[in-house]
């Protein structure tokens, strides 16, 4: 089936870029482009042999010239081609124009096409081919690889015709989940690099600062997977879901957005990722692919928690989405797309037009800010549209967002509050619980008014999305939640929101005291008793081991020393529970609390002694050896306790290495990769060997541990080499597809006002 693509919705520059990519794909040559405005009558050229129509083989010097119109069904008159034909004559005289390709989305009458053909023939051009809208439609419809390279095409045609039924269903779910406007997508060099990483490794990690377009690139890759490979895309909420959704007979693309925390590092999510790594490796070996995204500062915190060598692809397949890496042309394309397909009135665009070239080079340029600039909601408070105001728009986005949120009516603020309370996703239709009812009562909102407000804010601050088959309202970008947090810092409703936040939202979005965490809602000391009571009371949501682990992670990582001191003074039973360390030593959140309290001088000596005794017992018995290399655990031991550890190792552990290994391997359930699971045995043996290089007994024990570890790996009843990774993947291509661009973007915004 041939799909009709709305090429008139492209700008003239976008049409030229598309034409070059199409030629490169169809002809199989690297098509050279030329500087805009100084191309000598050649928008693209190459030398060789190729065919643009089946069975029609052409050879020699090819010249392509593009003619674009923003009006559908527009007829191109002969007079509009006369200057180009004169340039073609000059090129033919130089011997560099044997075949002339006219690429256009406009219509040519039969008479015009005949006159062009006769003119070129009379002036030494051997062959002429018209590549019109029908040719583009047929070429794009039949080539999914081409659509993958130019993801904007998904927004120019009917997805129900472009994709098969299965791919269409999945693509629709992606678009509804992320509310992506496909017409605005721009194929950047970063997208190409990410596609290459996904091809080579079946895994890509997109990292970058906020508002740089990580989710947009993930959307592009996901659509390509649905189209090119018929591969389902499963959007994960957390890494632990990989095992739930993975089907060995049905490879899919797993997409985990904000893998280690949305606006701040979430130690619980990072720990889940560590536990999921064996499943991820197995899934990749079975043909599955993974896309992860993370803010740079969140990823940096997460990396500090990962074991060395845990998952090499985290480093090998990381693609940094950095605005600084966008070329001048890509910046202009991003800005152009959001303005052309946004909802700004024509007179506003006209006022912006003289400043857009300079704005694209703004040091604070970001794709998300370009998106906001194209949305009238974000500029309606501007008293004027000039260079100074636009510079301020890009230079101080946080201040602008805070001002916008502060200026909202009561119903809109209440609507954002409900989304915030529900960790960024509010089911629709709204069925308020007691917390929501209380918030609405205190803020003065009504259910009907909030519904109207959400619909009015759709596409700006919130969007209607689908999760697990259910509609709901979500923030359009994490920075919206941050803006609401800023409002709460000075709001009389802060105490109310703290009391009503769901347990998950409380742990994800707040810190108790200022601990230097970026983008967190800092709860001041007067409200700490409210938080302490909620954290210690199981009816508020900390009733199972996973919730308790997350609560303990919060205490360990998101609370200042004064809060911890007051919390454990208030709840001495919680302090008493720290006496016995938890397994795994480096993974149990309660152990992290003990370490933090010790580092702050807040851990009572009797509790420290019992905790250390348990840590030593773990090592001697073979349950957990972390004290041998983790300096934080080692730092809790006095010199006397350190001496005791080594004395017991020599007298109890060195004598029976097989029993030590047997105890350690009791924890193996067959789910983890044997070599990865036994990594701590290797570290333990190495620590013993390096600490006592002259001790024959220690060296013999270390060698025995090494050997027993390898015996386990070789004999483990688990085939981790089964399944070959599918090598059919994304081809990254080149950032500019062989096109030489002058980098100035001169005139790219010229047709911005057309058809508006």
- One DSSP character per residue, 219-276 reads HHHHHHHHHHS---EEEESSGGGHHHH--TTS--EEEETTTT-SSS--HHHHHHHHHH
Burial class of residue 601 (count of CB atoms within 10 Å of its CB; 0-12, 13-18, 19+): exposed
Distance CA 309, CA 293 (A): 20
pTM: 0.64
Token pair, residue 284, equals 């990749």
Strand partners for 290: 203, 254
Instruction: Report phi then psi at 396, rounded to 5.
Output: -130, 65
CB 208 within 8 A of CB 191: no
Contact status, residue 232 vs residue 226, Cβ threshold 8 Å: yes
* Whole-Å CA distances, 440 to 413, 414, 492, 631, 656: 10, 6, 14, 50, 66
Angle between helices 528-536 and 545-557 (to 10 degrees): 150
Q: For 180, how many CA atoms within 13 A lie in the half-sphere containing its CB?
A: 27
- Distance CA(450)–CA(402), nearest Å, equals 20
Which pairs from 399-403 meet CB under 8 Å and 24+ separation? 401/479, 401/480, 401/482, 401/483, 401/486, 402/483, 402/486, 402/487
Q: What is the pLDDT of residue 176?
A: 57
Answer whether the bond into residue 282 is a cis peptide, omega within 30°.
no
Q: Using an 8 Å Cβ cutoff, are 418 and 429 in contact? A: no
Distance in angstroms (rounded) separating the CA atoms of residues 562 and 730 = 52
pLDDT of residue 721: 35
Report residue 319: phi and psi, to 5°: -120, 115
N- to C-terminal Cα separation, the chain: 31
DSSP bridge partners of 511: 522
Task: Residue 4: count other Cβ atoms within 10 Å of its Cβ.
Answer: 15
Q: Which of 7, 1, 48 is nearest to 131 (CA)?
A: 7
Query: Would you state the structure tokens that stand for residue 12, as one six-digit string?
Result: 């003239």
Half-sphere exposure of 721 (CA within 13 A, CB side): 5
The answer to whether 397 and 369 have CB atoms below 8 angstroms apart is yes
State how far the Cα of 639 lies from the Cα of 650, in Å rounded to an integer: 17
Backbone angles phi, psi at 188, to 5 degrees: -100, 170
Residues of the chain falling short of pLDDT 50: 35, 37-38, 539, 717-746
Helices (H), 458-502: 478-489, 494-500
pLDDT value of position 718: 35
Rounded Cα distance, 478 and 211, in Å: 9
- Is the Cβ–Cβ distance between 102 and 95 less than 8 Å? no
- Kindly compute the dihedral angle of the four CA atoms of residues 739, 743, 747, 751, in this order, to the nearest 10 degrees: 60
Judge contact between 10 and 29, C-beta under 8 A: no
Phi then psi dihedrals of residue 66, to 5 deg = -105, 140
What pLDDT score was predicted for residue 401?
85
Cα–Cα distance for residue pair 350/752, rounded to 1 Å: 9
- The reported pLDDT for the residue numbered 490 is 66
Return the CA Rg of the chain.
31
Per-residue confidence (pLDDT) for residue 734, from 0 to 100? 26
Cα separation, 573 vs 538, whole angstroms: 14
Strands (E) located in 321-452: 425-427
Query: For residues 431 and 400, is the Cβ–Cβ distance under 8 A?
Result: no
User: Cα(530)–Cα(516) distance, rounded to whole angstroms?
Assistant: 22
Cβ atoms within 10 Å of 344's Cβ, excluding its own: 22
220 closest CA partner among 160, 155, 289: 155
463 neighbors 421 (Cβ within 8 angstroms) = no
Q: What are phi and psi of 232, to 5 degrees?
A: -65, 150
Residues sharing a CB contact under 8 Å with residue 753, sequence separation 6 or more, in sequence order: 346, 349, 350, 353
Residue 644 Cα distances to 86, 185, 616, 619, 691, angstroms? 93, 63, 9, 12, 15
Helices (DSSP H) in 202-266: which residue ranges? 214-228, 242-245
User: Looking only at Cα atoms, what is the longest distance across the chain?
Assistant: 101
Q: What is the token pair recorded at 162?
A: 């472009």
Given this model, what pLDDT does residue 751 score? 76
Q: Residue 592 is encoded by which pair of tokens? A: 């992290």
Output the pLDDT for position 738.
28
């Amino acid at each position: 089936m041939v799909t009709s693509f709305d090429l008139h919705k492209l700008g003239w520059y976008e049409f030229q870029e598309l034409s070059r990519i199409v030629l490169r794909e169809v002809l199989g040559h690297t098509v050279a482009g030329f500087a805009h405005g100084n191309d000598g009558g050649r928008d693209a050229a190459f030398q060789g042999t190729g065919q643009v129509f089946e069975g029609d083989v052409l050879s020699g010097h090819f010249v392509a010239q593009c003619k674009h119109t923003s009006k559908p069904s527009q007829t191109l008159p002969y007079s509009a081609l006369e200057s180009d034909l004169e340039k073609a004559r000059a090129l033919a005289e130089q011997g560099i124009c044997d075949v002339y390709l006219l690429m256009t989305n406009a219509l040519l009458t039969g008479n015009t096409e005949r006159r062009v053909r006769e003119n070129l023939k009379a002036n030494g051009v051997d062959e002429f081919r018209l590549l019109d809208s029908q040719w583009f439609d047929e070429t794009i419809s039949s080539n999914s690889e081409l659509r993958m390279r130019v993801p904007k095409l998904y927004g120019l045609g009917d997805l129900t015709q472009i994709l098969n039924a299965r791919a269409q269903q999945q693509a629709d779910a992606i678009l509804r989940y992320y509310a992506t406007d496909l017409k605005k997508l721009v194929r950047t060099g970063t997208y190409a690099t990410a596609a290459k990483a996904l091809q080579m490794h079946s895994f890509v990690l997109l990292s970058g600062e906020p508002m740089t377009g990580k989710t947009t690139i993930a959307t592009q890759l996901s659509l390509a997977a649905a189209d090119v490979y018929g591969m389902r895309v499963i959007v994960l909420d957390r890494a632990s879901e990989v095992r739930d959704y993975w089907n060995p007979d049905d490879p899919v693309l797993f997409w985990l957005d904000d893998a280690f925390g949305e606006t701040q590092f979430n130690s619980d999510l990072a720990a889940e990722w560590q536990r999921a790594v064996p499943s991820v490796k197995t899934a990749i070996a079975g043909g599955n692919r993974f896309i992860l995204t993370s803010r740079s500062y969140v990823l940096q915190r997460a990396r500090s928690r990962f074991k060395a060598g845990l998952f090499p692809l985290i480093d090998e397949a990381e693609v940094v989405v950095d605005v600084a890496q966008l070329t001048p042309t890509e910046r202009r394309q991003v800005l152009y797309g959001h303005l052309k397909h946004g909802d700004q009135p024509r007179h506003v665009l006209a006022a912006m037009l003289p400043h857009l070239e300079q704005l694209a080079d703004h040091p604070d340029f970001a794709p998300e800010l370009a998106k906001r600039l194209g949305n009238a909601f974000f500029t309606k408070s501007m008293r004027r549209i000039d260079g100074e105001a636009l510079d301020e728009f890009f230079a101080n986005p946080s201040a602008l967002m805070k001002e916008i949120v502060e200026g909202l009516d009561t119903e809109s603020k209440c609507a954002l509050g409900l989304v915030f309370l529900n960790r960024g996703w509010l089911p629709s239709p709204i069925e308020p619980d007691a917390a929501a009812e209380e918030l609405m009562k205190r803020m003065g909102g009504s259910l009907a008014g909030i519904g109207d407000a959400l619909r009015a804010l759709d596409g700006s601050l919130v969007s209607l999305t689908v999760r697990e088959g259910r509609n709901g309202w979500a923030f359009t970008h994490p920075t919206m939640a941050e803006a609401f947090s800023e409002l709460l810092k000075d709001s009389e409703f802060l105490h109310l929101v703290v009391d009503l936040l769901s347990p998950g939202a409380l742990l994800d979005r707040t810190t108790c005291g200022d601990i230097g965490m970026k983008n967190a809602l800092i709860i001041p000391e007067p409200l700490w008793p409210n938080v302490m009571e909620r954290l210690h009371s199981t009816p508020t949501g900390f009733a199972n081991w996973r919730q308790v682990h997350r609560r303990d992670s919060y205490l360990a990582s998101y609370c200042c020393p004064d809060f911890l001191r007051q919390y454990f003074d208030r709840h001495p039973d919680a302090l008493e529970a720290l006496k016995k360390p938890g397994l795994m030593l480096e993974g149990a959140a309660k152990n992290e609390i003990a370490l933090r309290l010790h580092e702050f001088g807040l851990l009572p000596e009797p509790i420290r002694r019992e905790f250390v005794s348990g840590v030593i017992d773990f090592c001697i018995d073979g349950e957990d050896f972390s004290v041998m290399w983790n300096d934080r655990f080692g730092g809790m031991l006095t010199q006397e306790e350190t001496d005791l550890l080594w004395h017991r190792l020599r007298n109890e552990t060195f004598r029976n290495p097989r029993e030590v290994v047997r105890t350690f391997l009791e924890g193996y359930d067959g789910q983890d990769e044997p070599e990865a699971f036994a990594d701590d045995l290797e570290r333990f043996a190495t620590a013993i060997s390096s600490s006592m290089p002259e001790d024959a007994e220690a060296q013999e024990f270390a060698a025995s541990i090494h050997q027993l570890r390898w015996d386990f790996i070789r004999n483990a009843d688990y085939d981790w080499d089964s399944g070959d990774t599918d090598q059919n993947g994304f081809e990254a291509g080149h950032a500019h597809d062989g096109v030489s661009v002058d980098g100035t973007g001169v005139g790219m915004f010229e047709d911005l006002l057309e058809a508006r």
